[in-house]
Amino acid sequence: MKASHVTMSMTIDGHRIEETLGVVRGIVVRSRSVIGSIGARLQTLVGGNITLLTSLCERARAEAFAQMIEHAELLGADGIICVRYDATEILPGVTEVLCYGTAVKTASHGA
């Protein structure tokens, strides 16, 4: 699936939606390691961007995004609209990251 066919909007530029295939999602549950937690606490003493946690969040979002695309491709989709992310702390230090959207089949305008 082309990256340009995954969007937070309700349309895909230059294409019309021919069929809606339903909600697709990717879910990742992550916990911080003891070493990562200690390192992050040390970074908070200095202030600024806490790179250890930023990196952990980026990896979790990327995995959830990839799972969502895989789910859409299994349904035969060539696009995903209305993409959103959500995160919920399940336990202290354990977070669920969810990426979801609506899988669609599209056609180019004029096709």
**Looking at the predicted structure, is the pLDDT value of residue 50 above 70?**
no
Strand pairing class (79-91; 94-108): antiparallel
- CA dist 42 and 44 (Å) reads 5
Categorize the per-residue pLDDT at 1 as very low, low, confident or very high, splitting at 50, 70 and 90.
confident
Residue 33 has φ and ψ, to the nearest 5°, of -80, 165
Q: Which pTM does this prediction carry?
A: 0.83
Tracing tokens 């202290």 back to the chain, one arrives at 92
User: Quick one: DSSP state of residue 11?
Assistant: S
Assess if CATH 3.30.110.70 describes domain 3-108: yes
> Which residue ranges make up each domain of the chain?
3-108
Say yes or no to pLDDT of 40 above 70: no
Query: In this prediction, what percent of the chain has a pLDDT beyond 90?
Result: 61
Residue 30 has pLDDT above 60, yes or no: yes
